Amino acid sequence: MTLSRSLGIAVLSLAILGAAPAIAQERVVPSSLNQLRLSYAPIVQHVQPAVVNVYAAKVVQNRNPFLDDPIFRRFFGVPGGQQEQMQRSLGSGVLVDSSGLVVTNNHVIEGADQVKVSLADKREFEAEIVLKDSRTDLAVLRIKGSHEKFPTLDLANSDELQVGDVVLAVGNPFGVGQTVTHGIVSALARTQVGITDYQFFIQTDAAINPGNSGGALTDMSGKLVGLNTAIFSRSGGSQGIGFAIPANMVRVVVASAKSGGKAVRRPWLGARLQAVTPEIAETLGIARPSGALVANVTPGSPAARAGFKLSDLVVSIDGQTVEDPNAFDYRFATRPLGGTAQIDVMRAGKTVRLSVPLEVAPDTGRDEIELKSRSPFQGARVANISPALADELRLDSNVEGVVMIDVPESALASNVGFQKGDIITGVNGKAITKTSDLERATSEQARLWRITLIRAGQRINVTLGG
């Protein structure tokens, strides 16, 4: 083949490639004035009245170290001690019940002494916190002092969302007032975000900024598909990666609030699942690392009664594929209580279907106490490990010990280094199996404290001075 012939073929190929977009991208002139007026305005007009601004305030102690110096105080003529300061936060929320129930993010109102809700029509109301759920980063408020029927948004089935669907984000970014942005669903089932216990988020490129937290993410029918929760940003502003909690999870939390509960009621499996690594996948003889491997089964739990076995590979729940433990946790947590879930597992190369009852974890025998005796544990709140507490804190319910459920920053236990979720199993050579054991051990004076604890599955031995 000659050089001129080769160049001729190349030029022809380029001409064909260059012509392809013009053929595929057909331009159409609008045939009517109505086509020029296509707009999201009707959807926005339906959604906006149900989206509110949430203002939270709490009193914090602002301690200035210079005020502890009597010479400084005398010289400058200022009083000593701590000064109180009002700390405020701003977010958004969505009315989900005409009686005045508002769902928002837990981090918006966390620690608040006062909460106010501002409607789209500028009216402002005091609100009370009905329910908080740190595991999902959701909270439910109730508007006080009004008997009117408020506009609401219906919750969509977020499992029906598809990548590429158009969505609207409504909230109060940067406190500038109610704002609407639009975009598409850019990803589903995001599980490596690190915001809540239930890692399963809708990702969108609709502009979401600080202040949007708790606002609505809606579909083109005006239904709530998600609650805007977080952004990925290097600058603090929107960079086209926002995350929303799916409406199906919001539905579970709202249902618990409507029933009068102070905590979210969700199904308990009673089995610990772990991710499938490439090495585990090779050992199991599966093509790719997917599913959730059963690593532990609590005796007497729903999983045990259903027939779960160690090394079972969970692959689906009620016909929905399970890619990893986070996906399973979300799917299982959004199942309604009282029925059963059909879970498929791979066992010895065969698929086995197990019927798991959907019931809450028993929460008896916690015996919560605050440790007040002078010891490294002073100020901490501890409890016996009930199945419900083990599920809430992601603990191995088979471990014997006492778990720390609250370690206030002002407590001596916090200064020493104890953390929420630490399991105390031994103090000064004595086994700790219940709260009364720990209370008795801390009431005894000691110059040295030899403590055995479990943190994040690791057993740690520490020695502290008395």
What is residue 18's predicted lDDT score, i.e. its pLDDT? 38
Q: Say yes or no to pLDDT of 306 above 90.
A: yes
Please check whether residue 162 lies inside any domain of the structure.
yes
CA torsion 390-393-396-402 (nearest 10°) is -70
pLDDT at res. 1: 41
Same domain, 238 and 322: no
Contact 292, 324 (CB under 8 A): yes
Catalytic residue from among 92, 133, 137, 301: 137
Q: What pLDDT sits at residue 178?
A: 84
CA distance 189 to 206: 17
In this prediction, residue 83 has a pLDDT band, given cuts at 50, 70 and 90, of low
User: What percentage of the chain carries pLDDT values higher than 90?
Assistant: 52
Domain boundary among 332, 357, 382: 357
- Among 82, 117, 143, the domain boundary falls at 143
CATH code: domain of residue 346:
2.30.42.10
Instruction: Report how far residue 376's alpha carbon sits from residue 34's, in angstroms, rounded to the nearest whole number.
Output: 73
Query: 335 and 423 share a domain?
Result: no
Residue 189 in this model has a pLDDT that exceeds 80: no
Mean pLDDT value across residues 324-342: 92
Tokens at residue 404, please? 């720390």
Could you tell me if 207 and 183 are in contact, meaning their C-beta atoms sit under 8 angstroms apart? Answer: yes
Q: Which of 5-19, 149-163, 244-258, 339-353 has the lowest mean pLDDT?
A: 5-19
Together in a domain, 339 and 392:
no
Are residues 281 and 245 part of one domain?
Answer: no
Q: How many CA atoms lie within 13 A of 49 on its CB side?
A: 12
Whether residue 137 is annotated as binding a ligand: the answer is: yes
Residue where the block lists tokens 């720990």: 438
H/E stretch holding 225 reads strand 224-231
In 3D space, the residue among 246, 267, 279, 354 whose CA is nearest the CA of residue 309 turns out to be: 354
Instruction: Output the average pLDDT for the chain.
Output: 84
Domain count, the chain: 4
What is d(CA 190, CA 184) in angstroms, rounded to the nearest whole number?
15
- Confirm whether residue 164 is marked as ligand binding: no
pTM: 0.77
* 278 & 240 share domain: no
Residue 129: its pLDDT value, please?
Answer: 94
Cα gap 109→93, rounded to integer Å? 11
Is residue 146 part of the annotated active site? The answer reads no
Look at residue 208 and tell me if it is in a domain: yes
Q: Which of 93, 111, 143 is the last residue of a domain?
A: 143
Told to judge if 182 belongs to the known catalytic residues of this protein, a careful annotator would answer: no
In a domain, 191, yes or no: yes
415 among annotated binding-site residues:
no
Judge whether 213 is annotated as a binding position. yes
E strands in 386-457: 402-406, 423-427, 430-431, 448-455
pLDDT per position as a tens digit, 279-298: 999 888 888 899 999 998 98
SS3 118: strand
Residue 13 has pLDDT above 50, yes or no: no
Residue 46 catalytic? no
Handedness of CA 408, 409, 412, 415 (dihedral sign): positive
Task: Tell which wins on pLDDT, 16 or 257.
Answer: 257
Q: Are 459 and 382 within one domain? A: yes
Kindly indicate the confidence band of residue 81, based on its pLDDT and cuts at 50, 70 and 90: low
C-alpha distances out from residue 87 to 92, 143, 283, Å: 17, 22, 54
Residue 11, in any domain of the structure? no
406 in a known ligand binding site: no
Residue 382 and residue 412 share a domain: yes
For 184-211, what is the mean pLDDT?
77
* Over residues 14-36, mean pLDDT: 58
Residue 277, exposed/middle/buried by CB under 10 A (0-12, 13-18, 19+)? exposed
- 376 and 306, same structural domain? no
Indicate whether 16 belongs to any domain. Answer: no
The more confident residue out of 440 and 11 is: 440
Residue 241: φ, ψ to 5°: -130, 100
Range in 157-171, 173-187, 339-353 with the lowest mean pLDDT: 173-187
Tell me which of 92, 107, 158, 205 is the catalytic residue: 107
Is 151 domain-assigned?
Answer: no
What CATH number corresponds to the domain at position 84?
Answer: 2.40.10.10
Query: Which of the listed ranges 227-241, 300-314, 395-409 does the model predict with the highest average pLDDT?
Result: 300-314
For position 422, what pLDDT does the model report? 93
315: which 2 tokens?
């692959």
Exactly one of 92, 118, 158, 213 is catalytic; which is it? 213
275 shares a domain with 245: no
Residue 412 pLDDT > 50: yes
User: Which token pair is 355?
Assistant: 């019927």
Residue range of the domain that includes 197: 158-258
Residue 399 corresponds to which tokens in the numbers above? 């471990």
Pick the most confident of 169-173, 195-199, 308-312.
Answer: 308-312
> Does residue 104 lie within any of the structural domains?
yes
Q: Are 317 and 266 within 8 A, CB to CB?
A: no
The answer to whether residue 436 is domain-embedded is yes
Residue 132 has pLDDT above 90, yes or no: yes
Residue 307 is predicted with a pLDDT of: 96
Q: Do the Cβ atoms of 307 and 273 come closer than 8 Å?
A: no
- The pLDDT score that the predictor gives to residue 227 is 94
246 and 165 in a common domain: yes
- Note the pLDDT of residue 237: 61
| Chain segment 211-231, per-residue pLDDT in tens | 888 999 999 999 999 999 877
Residue 159 has pLDDT above 80, yes or no: yes
**For residues 4-13, average pLDDT:** 36
Residue 15 is predicted with a pLDDT of: 35
